[in-house]
Amino acid sequence: MSKQLPYTIVDAFTTQVFLGNPAAVLVLENPLSNEEMQFIAREFNLSDTAFISPTSEPTVFDMVWYTPGREVSMCGHASVASAYVLDLPHVTFKTRLGAGDVSARKAPDGTVSIEFPAGDPISLGEDMKTRVAETLRRACKLDAVPKINFVGEPADPFKGYLLIHVDDELDIASLQVDSGCLAAELPDHFLQIITNAPPAHLKEQGKQFVSRVFAGAAGVIEDPVCGSAHCILTPYWTKLLGQEGRELAAKQVSARSGDLWVEWNTTKSRVTIKGKAVTAATGVLNVPTSLGGN
């Protein structure tokens, strides 16, 4: 026998199926074990799967996130996807690994906004910039060591995130990145964010920064559009551009690509992330009562 669990796959930070970042969302009638949730996330093999459980309050839900390889402390695109699936004007997600309460709103036009902790990155110094530059040269098979403008990491709950601002003349969208090399040579940071200023055609569209995100150590070769990474990117670019108190337009330039609008509230130390979403698939997952095997 097996449990039959309805699921929805949502492409977040886009209005078109096959773009943005796909997340599987399961709204649970009964709790699942950690082992079951990890197996399910591995089965979907998406960068994140969200498990939502109703509470006694109609607009409050418990939520956890799993990649194919591990439970994670937060996930922006799966939170956007979850709010999109629930289709309520306002919900609060109660999380368990450090993100705290995540507030989400869905506007009449379908735009979803979520509020996460801010992760203002602290510089790791010149020696780390040199090390990261050499790592990128090898991981991207570049002819020369790239110029690095900044390397930094935020505090908890973003332990293990690394922000790398490379030369703004480098077209990061065209880089062929070996995320396994990044994971092996930067073992203290399971998620690496590469960012710089947008190329001319994206500047003309109003974009203010671009990024790509890799998390090979968590089983994610490249995260197509990473919401939690923008909790670090937003404070960094807000200060760099002198845009305190203003919303910024961002684009993640992975092969799937995605669009985000972000704002840093310095008083509350929170980042608001906005984006669109679209349903890519719905179905029922058959979960065996006995897990494991060869």
pLDDT tens digits along 90-143 = 999 999 877 789 999 999 999 999 999 999 999 999 999 999 999 999 999 999
Is residue 273 within 8 Å of residue 235, measured between CB atoms?
Answer: no
| Distance, CA of 177 to CA of 192 (rounded, Å) | 11
pLDDT in tens, 16-33: 999 999 999 999 999 999
Nearest-CA neighbor of 285 among 40, 9, 27? 40
Q: Give residue 72's pLDDT band: very low, low, confident or very high (50, 70, 90).
A: confident
What pLDDT digit, counting tens, does each position of 143-179 carry?
A: 999 999 999 999 888 989 999 999 999 999 999 999 9
Q: What is the pLDDT of residue 208?
A: 98
With 0-12 / 13-18 / 19 or more C-beta atoms within 10 angstroms meaning exposed / middle / buried, residue 66 is buried
Q: Give the per-residue pLDDT at 292.
A: 64
C-alpha of 137 from chain center: 24
Q: Which of 145, 162, 141, 144 is nearest to 153 (CA)?
A: 162
Task: Provide the pLDDT for residue 205.
Answer: 97
Beta bridge partners of 283: 7
Cα gap 86→165, rounded to integer Å: 36
**pLDDT tens digits along 30-63:** 999 999 999 999 999 998 999 999 999 999 999 9
The per-residue pLDDT for 41 is 96
Residue 286's contacts (CB-CB under 8 Å, 6 or more residues apart) are 2, 3, 4
Report pLDDT for 290. 79
Q: Report all structural domains of the chain as residue ranges with CATH numbers, in order of start.
A: 2-111+277-288 (3.10.310.10), 121-273 (3.10.310.10)
Q: What confidence category does residue 293 fall into, taking pLDDT thresholds of 50, 70 and 90? A: low
Q: Is the overall model pTM greater than 0.85, yes or no?
A: yes
Q: Are 255 and 20 in contact (CB under 8 A)?
A: no
pLDDT band at 79 (very low <50, low <70, confident <90, very high): very high
What string of H, E and C letters represents the secondary structure of the chain? CEEEEEEEEEEECCCCCCCCEEEEEEECCCCCCHHHHHHHHHHHCCCEEEEEEECCCCCEEEEEEECCCCEECCCHHHHHHHHHHHCCCEEEEECCCCCCEEEEEECCCCCEEEEEECCCCEECCHHHHHHHHHHHHHHCCCCCCCCEEEEEECCCCCCCEEEEEECCCCCHHHCCCCHHHHHHHCCCCCEEEEEECCCHHHHHCCCCEEEEEEEHHHCEEEECCCCCCHHHHHHHHHHHHCCCCCCEEEEECCCCCEEEEEEEECCCCEEEEEECEEEEEEEEEEEECCCCCC
